[in-house]
Structure 1
Amino acid sequence: MTDLPDDNTLTESGLDLRAGKGRILLIACGALAREILALIRLNGWDHMDLQCLPAKLHLYPDRIVTAVEEAVARNRATYDDIFVVYADCGTGGQLQAKCTELGVNMVAGPHCYAFFEGNDAFAARAEDEITAFYLTDFLVKQFDAFVWKPMGLDRHPELRDMLFGNYTKLVYQAQTEDPALLAKARDCADRLGLAFEYRFTGYGDLAHALRAEAEKT
């Protein structure tokens, strides 16, 4: 698969959204596009279509709720079901409240780090990993765009110890077994001055949530 555009946005013009009877629309974070498409293909969920919102909304979580609401409104009339593939993602419960108001379901969990590892497993580790900084496949690939540059470390590397001084390790939650990504994740840890831990999670609770949604129809 070719790389996503810089804003990591997939829209109707980029995907075959075949609305109709029995079809499910997944409204998702652009950071999850590859994983969702892989699961759809692997499981033959031909009745599921995907529309991704810009991954960079994670830099402005207050905008996620409005973007999801607008996407649901645009597509409600042409789909039997809509499923929101976001966790809370820094919205402070507002996204769940909006989904409840709109009558659509969403992925459970505080963020993608939790549901990739499995929400229960992540919660069990939470107290011991309060000083861990997490990366997924997407964030390893987009480390400069989503971590290094937004935090100003490209211009002011001296800020590193101030921003990451309370972290002790970088945990790479890998969705795929990719030696190149593993090497890049190690480099990310080195750049941040953190110890490195590799943890293969696969798709975790994301796979379970999509399977449950796919089997509803």
Structure 2
Amino acid sequence: MVDVSDQQLTDKGLDADAASGRILLLACGALAREILALKNANGWDHMVLSCLPAIYHIRPEKIPGAVREVVARERDNYQKIFVVYADCGTGGLLKATCDELGVEMVAGPHCYSFFEGNDRFAELTETQFTSFYLTDFLVRQFDAFVWKPMGLDKHPELRDMIFGNYEKLVYQAQINDPALVEKARECADRLGLAFEYRFTGYGDLATSLETVAKS
């Protein structure tokens, strides 16, 4: 497990008083920057962030087991554990695991949906199912999480085969950063796709964490 925070994330030897009121946010490493920004902006000092490796974004079969392991280890150290993953390609297995463990998780099929807002994303996909999505994290890590895993670094000729049915790249921006917009536009060019910029902010991630913080 990779811990990502400006404080110690997995305190050991906590007694019952120390655990009282503390909430563990067990999250995808690809969401660390956004969660910390929300946590710090809102003064949610009782919420502690701990992240599983971001690479599970492309290895979703690893997520349910990793979540189970952390919850078993940390349950007694926190009043509540909240899983900051949507389904994320687990085919319902993560939801089943969380239900079995008695912990809650973010609603939605994936981060693209909850950043857009789950209701809004569902509406858009009715007519925009040929879109390929990137978030701030994926723009920053495009080569490591898209280009190389798809083998395009060694076989660029596969690009049109893989992305031939896509029409555009949609960059869902969490922050307003012109440098990221330009990099996202370059990613679209590399994939041979039209480019669309959408500023989503934190979407349903913000409202979900706010609800948990007040619980």
TM-score range, shorter chain: over 0.9
Residue pair 1:15, 1:50 contacting (<8 A) in 2 also:
no
| TM-score for both structures, normalised by structure 1 | 0.93
Residue pair 2:5, 2:36 contacting (<8 A) in 1 also:
no
Matches of 1:206 and 1:58, distance apart in 2: 17
Residue 125 of structure 1 aligns with which residue? 124
Q: What is the CA deviation profile of residues 98-152 of structure 1, one whole-angstrom value per residue up to 9, with x for unaligned ones?
A: 1010000000000000000000000001111110000000000000000000000
How big is the shift at 1:60? 1.4
How big is the shift at 1:211? 0.2
RMSD between superposed Cα atoms in Å = 1.6
Structure 1 residue matching 2:144: 3-state secondary structure: helix
Q: Which amino acid aligns with 1:202?
A: G
Structure 2 residue matching 1:22: 3-state secondary structure: coil
Tell me if 1:61 matches 2:70: no
Q: Which amino acid aligns with 1:50?
A: L
Matches of 1:148 and 1:58, distance apart in 2: 14
Equivalent pairs, count: 209
Residue 213 of structure 2 aligns with which residue? 214
In the alignment, structure 1 segments of 5+ residues that lack a partner are 1-7
Residue 10 of structure 1 aligns with which residue? 3
Residue 88 of structure 1 aligns with which residue? 87
Tell me if 1:22 matches 2:15: no
Tell me if 1:35 matches 2:71: no
Residue pair 2:9, 2:50 contacting (<8 A) in 1 also:
no
Residue 15 of structure 2 aligns with which residue? none
Q: What is the CA deviation profile of residues 2-23 of structure 1, one whole-angstrom value per residue up to 9, with x for unaligned ones?
A: xxxxxx9326997344552100
How big is the shift at 1:32? 0.1
Residue pair 1:171, 1:196 contacting (<8 A) in 2 also:
yes
Residue pair 2:4, 2:29 contacting (<8 A) in 1 also:
no
Identity %: 69
In the alignment, structure 2 segments of 5+ residues that lack a partner are 12-17
